[in-house]
Amino acid sequence: MTERGARRTSGLTAPEEGGHPVKLERLKAETAAAMAGGGKERVEAQKAKGKFSARERLHYLLDEGSFQELDLLIKCQGRDFGLQDKPVPADAVITGFGRVNGREVCIYAQDFTVLGGSLGLAHAMKIAKVMDLAQDNRVPCIGLLDSGGARIEEGVDSLDGYAHIFRRNVKSSGVIPQISVILGPCAGGAVYSPALTDFIFMVQGISQMFVTGPAVVKSATGEEVTFDGLGGPQAHAAKSGVCHFVAQSEPDVFRQVRELLGFLPQNRWERPPRVANPDPVRRATPLMEMLCEIDPKKSYRVHHAIWQIADEHKFFEVHANFARSVVVGFCRMGGDVVGIVANNPGHMAGALTIDASDKAARFIRFLNAFNIPIVTLADVPGYWPGVQQEHGGIIRHGAKLLHAYAEATVPKITVILRKAYGGAYIAMNSKHMGSDFNFALPSAEIAVMGPQGAVEILRKRDIAAAKIPEDKLALAAKLGKEYADRFANPYQTASTGSIDEVIEPSQMRIRVIRALRFLKDKRKPGEHVNRGNIPL
């Protein structure tokens, strides 16, 4: 039988000879129109701002050839202000699923070249669809945002569209990782979808987030500020704390997102991927011996301690520019992912502040939701004093840190490097907060308060009785030393069992890894977790 004959008998007929495959042509034409975005001129304008197109962004972020698009041919629902006559390709957002390092993710990328990436009803429903897919299939959801906000022509439909998204952000919170990458403007209420996600990335020179723009600010308060000064990466990374990561360029941001995903499980029922590496588990940490011997009044960056214990000395810091007296981030120890929470004596002596408490508490809650053990490194003189801190709510914010540690059921290990005074000793995951293992270095000073402060209260009368100022100072110093010898060391605490062991500094890495391995099955992924990662 001829090939033609075979097709006839199977019921399939080829187009007439010399004719066109009409249906296929239509698909190609519809697809091409939708793929064109806002057209050549607007794409060039996007490039002129130093920005990639939405499709280029997907290409950079996802594994090659892995992207599967959905709803490319959706139509704009708006019927007013001329929208009915305008082409609105893909309704200004590209949605679908793809892979990052071989692992599935759901993703959307707003297309600023189409109506400024503004969000209308169909646009919102496309995003809602991939958010639902992400939740149902237990994979992370990533948003690439570049939008003028609510599509003005669609009125309240676009506001309702945001509500659909916010509700899904909350439903997915603590269930799947949610990541927002701000790659252009993000204005008005639109900022609240990223704010409900776990991590926000911004890029120098192109990203902005604000609830009300510079013009409204000027008319309301008289303050003059640029877009970047108001809502650029520096403002949000260092001051407001909205932004967790700042990148120098778009390729840089996609590299960072891929790296972050490598530390995360796909969902709350899984553990983060284990990655074997050549760094020996038994590697000694000699630098910790030096750190142990330095003058207690001297500062140092706690990063040095983290690099010592981390696999291959690698630490992926989160919120690096915000509330720097506390350092948080991810590393691997013995191949397994851990979250680090550490006081940083290199900034404000490592004290706990309002912002530092919020930063640490939210990170701890993320770790707990996603089955990542918490390693705490304490070197904390206390809470930062002052009217601004007290009236700003250090009590309220500090309580979040206590709450986060106490509720966390993942493995929790604390190492006291040096100071652990007063309430801050407890707040940095002390034994009776429910920590699994608490170690101290020989340099640890664990007490109700620092020696000088203690003797000035306890021996106030004796010091006051000294006749000349020099005598007062000498007596205070002598009494302070006596107090320090008695209390400002780890042995008093070790004698009561409030720390499990005073460890050799050079053994810190192996001791922590050994403890982590013992605790590996402490909690099965997904158990005991039914809380979202509320923005704190």
Separation of alpha carbons 80 and 85, rounded Å: 9
Separation of alpha carbons 536 and 407, rounded Å: 15
Q: Is 451 an interacting residue with respect to ligand HXC (CB under 6 A)?
A: no
Q: How many CA atoms lie within 13 A of 386 on its CB side?
A: 9
User: Which residues lie across from 103 on neighbouring strands?
Assistant: 100
Q: Is 480 an interacting residue with respect to ligand HXC (CB under 6 A)?
A: no
Q: Is the dihedral of CA 156, 162, 168, 169 positive or negative?
A: negative
**Both structure tokens of 355:** 């912002």
Q: Give the torsion through C-alpha atoms of 383, 386, 391, 394, to 10 deg.
A: -10
For residue 84, give the amino acid letter: Q
Q: Select from 52, 97, 162, 383 the one that contacts ligand HXC (CB under 6 A).
A: 162
Q: Select from 53, 77, 95, 118 the one that contacts ligand HXC (CB under 6 A).
A: 118
Q: How many CA atoms lie within 13 A of 399 on its CB side?
A: 4
Q: Select from 78, 98, 116, 231 the one that contacts ligand HXC (CB under 6 A).
A: 116
Closer by beta carbon to ligand HXC, 81 or else 518: 81
Q: How far is the CB of 80 from ligand HXC (least distance, A)?
A: 12
Q: How far is the CB of 531 from ligand HXC (least distance, A)?
A: 24
Q: Select from 189, 346, 453, 525 the one that contacts ligand HXC (CB under 6 A).
A: 189
- Which residue is associated with the tokens 């020989």? 442
Separation of alpha carbons 500 and 494, rounded Å: 7
Catalytic hit among 155, 262, 423, 526: 423
Separation of alpha carbons 96 and 108, rounded Å: 6
**Both structure tokens of 224:** 């003059």
DSSP secondary structure, 439-498, as one string: EE-TT-EEESS-HHHHHHHHTHHHHHH-SSHHHHHHHHHHHHHHHHHHHSSSHHHHHHTS
Do residues 197 and 207 touch, judged by C-beta distance below 8 A?
no
Q: Is 335 an interacting residue with respect to ligand HXC (CB under 6 A)?
A: no
**Which one of 188-196, 287-295, 356-364, 367-375 is the stretch in contact with ligand HXC (CB under 6 A)?**
188-196
**Which one of 70-78, 187-195, 336-344, 364-372 is the stretch in contact with ligand HXC (CB under 6 A)?**
187-195
Q: How far is the CB of 194 from ligand HXC (least distance, A)?
A: 12
Pairing mode of beta strands 178-187, 208-210: parallel
- Which residue is associated with the tokens 């970047």? 228
**Which one of 68-76, 184-192, 316-324, 423-431 is the stretch in contact with ligand HXC (CB under 6 A)?**
184-192
Number of residues located near ligand HXC, criterion CB under 6 A: 16
Q: Could you write out the three-class secondary structure of 336-368?
A: EEEEEEEECCCCHHHCECHHHHHHHHHHHHHHH
Q: Select from 88, 107, 115, 121 the one that contacts ligand HXC (CB under 6 A).
A: 115
Q: How far is the CB of 45 from ligand HXC (least distance, A)?
A: 8
Closer by beta carbon to ligand HXC, 188 or else 450: 188
State how far the alpha carbon of 110 is from the alpha carbons of 91, 187, 231, 250, 298, in Å: 9, 14, 19, 15, 49
Catalytic hit among 184, 188, 231, 232: 188
Q: Is 169 an interacting residue with respect to ligand HXC (CB under 6 A)?
A: no
The contacts of residue 30 (CB under 8 Å, 6+ apart) are 73
Separation of alpha carbons 250 and 224, rounded Å: 29
Q: Is 381 an interacting residue with respect to ligand HXC (CB under 6 A)?
A: no
* Residue 184 annotated to the active site: no
Q: How far is the CB of 511 from ligand HXC (least distance, A)?
A: 49
Q: Is 225 an interacting residue with respect to ligand HXC (CB under 6 A)?
A: no
Q: How far is the CB of 76 from ligand HXC (least distance, A)?
A: 11
Q: Select from 185, 265, 334, 350 the one that contacts ligand HXC (CB under 6 A).
A: 185
Q: How far is the CB of 118 from ligand HXC (least distance, A)?
A: 4
Closer by beta carbon to ligand HXC, 127 or else 372: 127
Quick note: the x/- pattern for ligand HXC over 120-159, rule CB under 6 A, is ----------------------------xxxxxx-----x
Separation of alpha carbons 321 and 327, rounded Å: 9
Q: Select from 190, 203, 302, 441 the one that contacts ligand HXC (CB under 6 A).
A: 190
Closer by beta carbon to ligand HXC, 207 or else 343: 207
* Residue 188 annotated to the active site: yes
Q: Is 194 an interacting residue with respect to ligand HXC (CB under 6 A)?
A: no
Q: Is 231 an interacting residue with respect to ligand HXC (CB under 6 A)?
A: no
Q: Is 187 an interacting residue with respect to ligand HXC (CB under 6 A)?
A: yes
Closer by beta carbon to ligand HXC, 143 or else 185: 185
Binders of ligand HXC among 482-501, rule CB under 6 A?
A: none
Q: Is 201 an interacting residue with respect to ligand HXC (CB under 6 A)?
A: no
Binders of ligand HXC among 33-92, rule CB under 6 A?
A: none
State how far the alpha carbon of 220 is from the alpha carbons of 24, 154, 168, 215, 224, in Å: 56, 27, 33, 9, 11
Q: How far is the CB of 88 from ligand HXC (least distance, A)?
A: 10
* Residue 116 annotated to the active site: no
Q: How far is the CB of 451 from ligand HXC (least distance, A)?
A: 53
Catalytic hit among 54, 124, 342, 424: 424
Q: How many CA atoms lie within 13 A of 203 on its CB side?
A: 25
State how far the alpha carbon of 494 is from the alpha carbons of 256, 489, 501, in Å: 41, 9, 7
Q: Provide the binding-site residues for ligand HXC, judged by CB under 6 A.
A: 115-116, 118, 148-153, 159, 162, 185, 187-190
By annotation, the residues acting in catalysis are 188-189, 423-424
